[in-house]
Amino acid sequence: MEDKILDGKKLAYELNAELKEKISKAVKKTGIIPKLITILVGKDSASKTYVNIKQKTCQEIGIDSKIIELDENISKEQLRDEISKLNNDPTTHAILLQLPLPKKLREYTPDFLEQISSSKDADGLHPFNRGKLFDYNEELAACTPKGIIKLLEHYDIEIKGKDVVIINRSNLVGKPLIFMLLKRNATVTICHTSTKDINEYIRKADILITAVRQPNFITKDKIKEGVIIIDVSTNRVEGKLCGDVDFENVLEKCQKITPVPGGIGPMTVAMLCDNTFTAYKKQVNIS
């Protein structure tokens, strides 16, 4: 069964090691260390954990990573000022606004994302970078979809001509994936809470990408024999991390599957580091 696992943790480790080499060479050439600043508003414990994981990985590979922690009662104007300072700071090459924002600020999320300089957009969520995906340009694209594609390609999983079903239509996951998969000639179907007969779509999928936030949403009886499953969700059940898939039972019927943890999570962090390096290279004018 081991050979069925799409090991995101292992691949992320390898990609990070390669990136560390590239960063070291670039720093020798320019004398400038790539810098990522993460803005964390409020005290959400899951966000804090994610931010710390990202910072640790960045530091291990030679990215100067700092976290600016802001009070959850900060005003919209104060947050705008912080972003503005970072946009204007030439030593900051990449900016990450950790989401979700506290409730009071959440409705302005699109405004803050748009305010971040598109060339410093570590998360690939600026409207300009999202728009570039229409032209299949993935240079600074969203990290999770980028990580999914990297993982599929690393394992030589054919995407061309496949029926790919994505259960999620968020800006972070489903929407960017549409373009990345079309670019690679898949037939893409997006499902969501208003999809009629969702099980019909799930049963037809050659590649199934799920991010619905529901443990055991995907069970053995719903899937096609030999399907490839990408489980993006990070649910907590009794303190333990799990995805949407009834992993143990689905394992024998699928061809390949990502574990949770150890699948898409580490790939997302690797792509954040990759985006940071891309943003840095553009700003220090190296290729």
The residue ranges that bind ligand NAP (CB under 6 A) are: 144, 167-170, 172-174, 191-195, 198, 211-214, 232-235, 264-265, 268
8 A C-beta contact, residue 157 and residue 207: yes
DSSP class of residue 218 equals B
Name the residue nearer to ligand NAP (CB basis): 118 or 235. 235
CA angle 148, 6, 151 (to 5 degrees): 30
3-state secondary structure of 67: strand
115 labelled catalytic:
no
Nearest-approach distance from CB 255 to ligand NAP, in angstroms: 21
Helix (H, G, I), strand (E, B) or coil at 174: helix
Instruction: Report d(CA 72, CA 182) in Å as an integer.
Output: 39
Stated as kind and residue range, the H or E segment containing 106 is: helix 103-106
**Active site (annotated) includes residue 54:** yes
Report how far apart, in Å, the C-alpha atoms of 224 and of each of 27, 105, 153, 169, 247 are: 49, 42, 21, 22, 15
Active site residue 150: no
Cβ neighbours for 97, distance < 8 A, ≥ 6 positions apart: 38, 39, 83, 112, 113, 116, 123
Nearer Cβ to ligand NAP, position 94 or 143?
143
CB of 259 to ligand NAP, least distance (A): 11
Which is catalytic among the residues 7, 35, 98, 274? 98
Q: Which of 268, 278, 281 is nearest to 137 (CA)?
A: 278
**Cβ of residue 240: shortest distance to ligand NAP, in angstroms?**
14
CB of 165 to ligand NAP, least distance (A): 11
The residue (of 26 and 250) whose beta carbon lies closer to ligand NAP is 250
Nearer to ligand NAP, 123 or 206 (CB): 123
Query: Which of the following is catalytic: 7, 35, 54, 121?
Result: 54
Q: Closest CB to ligand NAP among 250 and 269?
A: 269
CA distance 76 to 139: 29
Given 123, 206, 231, 274, the catalytic residue: 123
Q: Nearest approach, Cβ of 89 to ligand NAP (angstroms)? A: 27
- For the annotated catalytic residues, the residue numbers are 54, 98, 123
